[in-house]
Structure formats: C-alpha cells, structure tokens
Amino acid sequence: MSANLIRFGAALLLTLAAATACANDDDAEPADPPPTPMGHTYISTEVEGTPIPGGGPLTLAFADDRLSASAGCNTHNGAVVLDGNTMKVSGLASTLMACPGDKMDADQWLSDLLNASPTWRLDDSRLTLEGNNTTVVMMDKRVLMPDRPLRGTPWVVNALLTPDAQIHSQKIDELQPSFTIAEDGTLTGFAGCNRMTGQAAITETPEGADITFAVATTKMMCDPETMEVEQAVLTALDGTAQATVDADELTLRNPNGHGLMLRAQ
C-alpha cells in the first residue's frame, strides 16, 4: 500500500511539473523580431576607405524588399535581400542624369559597394556597411533629420511625378520651382516662369495630410521647356493632393496621378 502511494505521489508531482512547464511556455511572450533596416532611410555620416566622389552623402532607403540608393548623382533601385548580415542587391536600374564635377564618379563608387554584397550591422539608429574595402557609417534619417513642418517651410521641387514615371532633369534643378505655405494658409511661390499666389488648406490624415490648393499665377511666357516644367507643377497643384513628409522631403500626389517631389530649403 505504501509503495502504491509513493508511486502515485511521484506520478502526481511529475504531472504537476509538466503542467507548470506548459503554463510557463504558454505565458512566455514571443521573442522580438531581429532589428532590420527595412522600412527606414539612412544617410551616411562617416566613410572609411575610398571616399564618395563629390562628397555624397550616401542615402539608402529600404522598403518592401527593395532598395533605393544614391551617392549624390543618380538614384539606383533594385531588389534587396538581407541574408543574415549580408546585403545582396539585384536588378539595379538607375536614372540617367549627368552630374557636375566629381559627382559623375559617385555612381561607380555606389555600384562597386552594392555589388560587393556588403555586410551590415544595425545598432539602434546606426547602420554600418562594410564592403569593397570601404566602411560606411549611416544614421536613420528620422533621427538625423526630423520631419519638417508643412507650414512655414520653403519647399523646392526636385522631381515631377506622372502616373507612371518620376522625372528628374537639369532644367528642374536650374529653375527650382518652389512654394511656401504660411501659418494662415496663404501660398506664395514660383512655378518655373511665373509667380504663384493663393491658398492651401491643410487637413491632417493618418497617412500625412491632404492639401487643397487654389493657385493663381502671373501671365509671363518663357521658353517651351520652362513652360513645360511650369505646367507640370501647376497640374500637381490643381485641387487636392496627398502630402507625405519624410524628414526634409515632401511628396505630393493628386488623384489624377500627377505630383511633385520637393526638398526643404
């Protein structure tokens, strides 16, 4: 009888221990996913080894398993796989702008770095890349450059958006179309040939903001290429556009698919 009780007691203890272990397993919180640069944009702050021709900086934007990269000249886009601590980029395509001086060689510097499958390490907001005998230290753009306010900031156009293209050109860089929205919603600016005045009503949204533009211009005529840029700017500022601010960059896109990419001055 005593032996049976002992055996029963031991079995009960084992059952309780197993139940407790299961309960502890169930109560354990899932482990945090490993840190990843995906969904973030980084800007170089230090370069050891071969410097960036023209001074850079190197900008890397990670989103939806794709990489957008620029070292100060053209923008390169392609698929990216973060394989362990190795960054593998494929299918790179780039814009085809001519860049002044040493910046012309920045594209080759960038291609050499990305095609070397650099290693990467993320420490909080700091991303370090090592490849092609070069080490690049980068910081999260949101830490390095907090979002600029829509109101009171001079915004300068650096690209035009159409339903199926993103257009960069030397003419846009030369003209520097721009606008500023005052605290009371008054808009002043330059469309490329003519001065702009009007109103911009800003409505905050979960995605950023909607801006309803009512713009008038002076009536000067300029050369055809300038007028083409101006017409694209005015088309983007026609009616309501969705606005997204990322650090010092503003993207506007309206329902007809046209828009602007701008940088804070």
pLDDT digits (tens, 9 = 90+) for 96-146: 888 889 999 999 999 999 999 999 999 999 999 999 999 999 999 989 989
Q: Give residues with Cβ within 8 angstroms of 17, minimum separation 6.
A: none
Query: Residue 98: its pLDDT value, please?
Result: 86
Helices (H) and strands (E) in the chain, counts: 5, 17
pLDDT digits (tens, 9 = 90+) for 140-182: 998 998 999 999 999 999 999 999 888 989 999 999 999 999 9
Residue matched to tokens 């002992």: 6
Give the mean pLDDT of the chain.
Answer: 90
Query: Residue 3: its pLDDT value, please?
Result: 46
Q: Residues of the chain with pLDDT > 90: what percent? A: 80
Query: Residue 28: its pLDDT value, please?
Result: 58
Query: Residue 27: its pLDDT value, please?
Result: 56
DSSP category for residue 83: E
Q: Residue 196, exposed/middle/buried by CB under 10 A (0-12, 13-18, 19+)? A: buried
Least confidently predicted of 31-35, 60-64, 224-228:
31-35
Residue 263 pLDDT grade (very low, low, confident, very high; cuts 50, 70, 90): very high
Residue 147: HSE in the Cβ half-sphere, 13 Å Cα cutoff: 10
pLDDT digits (tens, 9 = 90+) for 212-234: 999 999 999 999 999 999 999 99
Q: Which helix (H) or strand (E) holds 40?
A: none
pLDDT digits (tens, 9 = 90+) for 87-98: 999 999 998 888
Residue matched to tokens 């029963």: 8
| Helical residues (DSSP H) of 2-140, grouped into ranges | 2-27, 106-115
Q: State how far the Cα of 153 lies from the Cα of 21, in Å rounded to an integer.
A: 59
**Ordered structural domains, the chain, with CATH:** 41-144 (2.40.128.270), 155-264 (2.40.128.270)
Strand partners, 47: 136
Q: What is the pTM of this model?
A: 0.63
Look at 178 and 246; give whichever has higher pLDDT.
Answer: 178
Q: Is the pLDDT of residue 186 over 90?
A: yes
